[in-house]
Chain A
Amino acid sequence: MSIFDNPFDPDRNLRAGCPCGQHQSAAEHDQATAMRCEPVESEEKRYEGVVASAVMRAMFPQDVARRAFLKSIGASTALAALSQFFPIKTATEVFAQTGAPEKKDLKVGFIPITCATPIIMAAPLGFYAKHGLNVDVVKTAGWAVIRDKTINKEYDAAHMLAPMPIAISLGLGANAIPFAVPAIENINGQGIVLATKHKDKRDPKDWKGMKFAIPFDYSMHNYLLRYYLAEHGIDPDTDVQLRSVPPPEMVANLRADNIDGFLAPDNICQRAIYDGVGFMHLLSKEIWDGHPCCSFAASREFITTAPNSFAALTRAIVDATAYASKAENRKQIAEAIAPANYINAPVTVLEQVLTGTYADGLGGVKTDAKRVDFDPFPWQSFAVWMLTQMKRWGQIKGDVDYKAVAEQVYLATDTKKLMIEMGLSPPASAYKSFAVMGKTFDPEKPEDYVASFKIRKAS
């Protein structure tokens, strides 16, 4: 898929049918649920495309007329003719200049795991600088600390587990402070790792009485592991023990036999394999392909006091995410984020995670290019799904206004606008249906979804 629509392509339909303009019809657009953004050769080119497209649209309100015009005289002639009376170059320059950031020196907190790749790599690879920001990315000891430091305004924005901003906004496990998510960091990229001694116990039905670690209560890891166990008839609250353990301690605990396995963020999974203490039972991708994991979050207060800084940050993250989504860049990224200043992990481990060619811990080498992927669009249906799981496991009680919370926290509309300005093509709707372990989730019917599960916490 191309990222920007070439308005001088006579076969291209600029507005009818599909809202993003990349597909022939709305149905086709909906089919391509996952948005992939790929960087264009240069920023200018991209903005030029956006501006030219707008001009073309203004000149030819009828799409048929535009196509006829282009077909008859050719795209380059059309562009030249257009430039004669409309200063596309100047318009592009004006367009590319966004408001100056209110605050240039920003602090962004992160947890050293590969989920934070876009946030981290944006520093060494210069994505923040490109958007006029001077950002210090600060490594933080744990999810609770990153939450407190962001609430305390020591950090302007931070890397958080995707459900965390929802939990903070709802006041679960902290004071209710409105937070917002302009971008998802990564999709997929987690895994269930078991201790090597369990290599013959691959059926979850045999896992009764085992101890598992998860990074945080309000994490996709928690929800995915619970979901996976429950689908196999194991009640995660009574049949197994789930412990919240900081990721680096998971490998040490697995080695020390304190836990039997974990569902953890990557480089930790691969690290356990690298150190020979565990094997990859399942990639989280196999539970739900395209699930979100971590998010880029900021408080509402920061967004209202420094809207331009926030917009520039979001742009930098979206840019970095687009760069990271390309397979050919992954090796370079692994090297950029491996040093002690960033993730602080062996390059081999990060490469295996990012390139998707990895040792499985049982003597085999597997390849899955989508083991981890990057896609910034904050689907509000993701938030609705997380809320259904919070409800399912008793983290929230009573009635939930799923859509209202999702729309308040996941800034799909703002990010969409930003992405369009950047010449990217975000999806039209902020809700999409997806399947978790074969079971379809309909964001329109969250209550029915919660009720449909046999294993859940009695409320």
Chain B
Amino acid sequence: MNASLRLRAGLVSIVLLAAFLGIWHLATRSTGTVATMSPEYAKLMGLTATQDKSAMPGPLDVGAKLWEHLRRPFYDNGPNDKGLGIQLGYSIARVGTGYFLAVLVAIPLGFLIGMSPLLSKALDPFIQVLKPISPLAWMPLALYTIKDSSISAIFVIFICSIWPMLLNTVFGVASVRKEWINVARTLEVGTFRRAFTVILPAAAPTILTGMRISIGIAWLVIVAAEMLVGGTGIGYFVWNEWNNLSITNVIIAILLIGVVGMLLDQILARFTRMVTFPE
């Protein structure tokens, strides 16, 4: 039953994909030569103008280009033109750094706030105001104060991934069942030991859910941040190809951003499953 359900789901997925690609192909087909123009003039014009080719590339164009990129993912033609593998590497490194710094700050701070009702109440207004700010709104401020575009990008990742983690940690720590804490208290367990052996395991699933949300947001934001600051990274790649109006490459980048985002999410999902416990 289970296996056959999976099989059927897989079949539906494939049919949907095929239908999508088919429609895409038909919609972007060029209608053949239409415009009448002198050959001398046509030589100076692009395919969209001469053959009425759609400005949107078809799936075949994208596939061919994708293959070209996958064959040479790590080429380096100078500071403004690097392979997709290198660009993704830069982006992942930036996300990793900013995210790791956010973990270092958010989890201890979240513990503190979660364990102390006073701090929780005192810091709440700040968190509530800072949380909904779009991370990119920090960009001009970061560029102006930090005076370094790559550190600014990391800062933006840091600031956007800190809130879900912080809030989830606070919530997870605060909602550890009172019985367990009371038991620990009865057994005269010290504060640190209580934090690490009782509260941490109990709050771990909630904290990891927060981390999973954060990595998703961080990956969303890095593309936009890199489009702004430029230089390297997959966001820069999108911008550079947009500059050349190469929609084919933009689609490829979108596809890769999706795949990498999914992988990052899956890694965190696996961790979450590892710490989940039945009550």
Contact = CB atoms under 8 A, between A and B. Distances in A.
A358 B43 CA distance: 10
B80 A363 contact: no
B186 interface: no
A459 interface: no
Interface string A323-362: 0000000000000000111101110100010000111000
Q: Is the interface on chain A under 10, 10 to 19, 20 to 34, or 35 or more residues? A: 35 or more
Q: Is the interface on chain B under 10, 10 to 19, 20 to 34, or 35 or more residues? A: 35 or more
A273 interface: yes
B44 A141 contact: no
A340 B239 contact: no
Interface stretch (A34-42, A144-152, A229-237): A144-152
Interface stretch (B166-174, B196-204, B241-249): B241-249
Interface in B43-70: 43-46, 48-50, 55
A148 B140 CA distance: 9
B90 to A, nearest CB: 14
B16 to A, nearest CB: 28
B230 A145 contact: yes
A149 B149 CA distance: 7
* Chain B CB within 10 A, most for which of A137, A255, A273, A276: A276
A11 interface: no
Interface in B224-248: 227-231, 236, 239-245
Interface in A355-400: 357-359, 363-365
Contact of B77 (A152, A340, A358): A340
A414 interface: no
Given A112-B243, A139-B230, A363-B38, A341 B149 contact: no
Contacts of A273: 45, 49
A148 B143 contact: yes
A276 B147 contact: no
Interface in A250-298: 251-252, 255, 271, 273-276
* Chain A CB within 10 A, most for which of B41, B50, B144, B245: B245
B77 A137 contact: no
Given A141-B239, A248-B242, A363-B38, A274 B79 contact: no
A365 B44 contact: yes
B265 interface: no
B79 A341 contact: yes
Given A359-B41, A365-B41, A275 B230 contact: no
A336 B148 CA distance: 30
Contact of B49 (A274, A344, A346): A274
Given A139-B240, A148-B144, A365 B40 contact: yes
A420 interface: no
Contact of B81 (A148, A149, A271, A341): A341
B230 A140 contact: yes
Nearest to B50: A276
B78 interface: yes
B37 interface: yes
Given A141-B228, A145-B229, A341 B46 contact: no
A138 interface: yes
B227 A141 contact: yes
Nearest to A251: B245
A364 B143 CA distance: 47
* Chain A CB within 10 A, most for which of B46, B148, B236: B46
A136 interface: yes
Contact of B244 (A249, A345, A352, A364): A345
A442 B77 CA distance: 48
Nearest to B146: A152
A214 B135 CA distance: 28
Contacts of B81: 339-341, 344
* Chain B CB within 10 A, most for which of A141, A346, A364: A141
Contacts of B79: 136-139, 341
A154 B148 contact: yes
A255 B55 contact: yes
Contacts of B43: 348
A130 interface: no
Interface of A: 112, 136-141, 145, 148-149, 152-154, 248-249, 251-252, 255, 271, 273-276, 339-342, 344-346, 348, 352, 357-359, 363-365
28 contacts: A136-B78, A138-B79, A138-B80, A138-B231, A139-B80, A141-B227, A141-B228, A141-B239, A148-B149, A149-B149, A154-B147, A248-B243, A248-B245, A249-B242, A252-B245, A273-B45, A274-B44, A274-B49, A275-B49, A275-B55, A275-B245, A276-B45, A276-B50, A341-B80, A348-B44, A359-B41, A365-B40, A365-B44
Interface of B: 35, 37-38, 40-41, 43-46, 48-50, 55, 77-81, 143-144, 147-149, 227-231, 236, 239-245
Given A141-B227, A365-B40, 15 more contacts: A137-B79, A137-B80, A139-B80, A141-B228, A141-B236, A141-B239, A145-B149, A154-B147, A273-B49, A276-B48, A344-B80, A345-B244, A359-B45, A363-B41, A365-B38
Closest 10 CB pairs of A and B: A276-B49, A341-B81, A359-B44, A340-B81, A152-B147, A341-B78, A141-B230, A274-B46, A248-B243, A139-B80
